[in-house]
Structure formats: structure tokens, C-alpha cells
């Protein structure tokens, strides 16, 4: 009886799409891993750069130009820098453009 109930609930979840939903983008992202020690042989030669507090950034810029490694950064998300290595998503864009980061229409 318990197995039948479990299977029924699992099928209902699949039918509703609950088990197949993608994870929503994170509202707050960080630069990623802590900076490796200078003597660490596995340290990246590309240093993670900070953002300017209060400035807006496209997600792709945080990743590609500042070197942020957080997997939750949405490429076309629009973010506001809230700390040197932390940004808050303020919009999900179809296309985020610069040089002053904004959602393109």
C-alpha cells in the first residue's frame, strides 16, 4: 500500500512538472571561490576582480570580465553591486547590454 502511494505521488509530481522545473536564478551572487593563497600551485593566474558598489552589471560581464565563478550568475541578468564581491539580481533581461549595464528592449 505504501509503495503504491509513493508511486502515485511521484507520478503526480512528474505530471505537474514539479520534478522537472529548472532552478530559478539566484537573487544574490558572489565572486565565487575564496581567492587562493599566492603560493598555491593551483591558484588561477586570472584574479577575480571586485565590482563597484552601487553600479549595475550584466551577468556575462561579471563572469567574463571580472572573473566571477558563481554558477548561479545568469548571463543576461542585470545585477547591482552591493559589496565588492557580491551583487544582487535586479532584473532578468532578454538581452543585457553595456557600457552602462541595462536590459535592452
Q: What is the pLDDT of residues 29-41, one digit of tens each?
A: 888 755 433 444 4
Within-domain flag for 57: yes
Within-domain flag for 69: yes
Range of the domain at 68: 53-105
What average pLDDT does range 14-21 have in this prediction? 39
- Name the average pLDDT for the chain: 75
Within-domain flag for 42: no
Kindly report the length of the chain: 105
* pLDDT beyond 70 at 56: yes
- Counting the structural domains of the chain, the total is 1
Within-domain flag for 20: no
Within-domain flag for 100: yes
pTM: 0.65
* pLDDT beyond 80 at 87: yes
Strands (E), the chain: 28-30, 56-58, 77-83, 86-92, 96-97, 102-103
* pLDDT beyond 90 at 18: no
Amino acid at each position: 500500500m505504501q509503495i503504491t502511494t509513493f508511486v502515485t505521488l511521484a507520478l503526480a509530481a512528474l505530471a505537474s512538472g514539479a520534478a522537472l522545473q529548472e532552478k530559478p536564478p539566484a537573487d544574490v551572487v558572489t565572486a565565487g571561490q575564496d581567492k587562493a593563497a599566492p603560493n598555491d600551485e593551483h591558484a588561477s593566474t586570472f584574479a577575480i576582480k571586485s565590482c563597484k558598489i552601487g553600479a549595475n552589471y550584466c551577468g556575462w560581464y561579471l563572469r567574463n570580465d571580472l572573473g566571477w565563478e558563481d554558477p548561479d550568475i545568469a548571463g543576461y541578468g542585470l545585477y547591482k553591486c552591493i559589496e565588492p564581491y557580491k551583487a544582487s539580481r535586479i532584473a532578468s533581461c532578454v538581452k543585457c547590454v553595456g557600457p552602462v549595464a541595462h536590459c535592452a528592449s
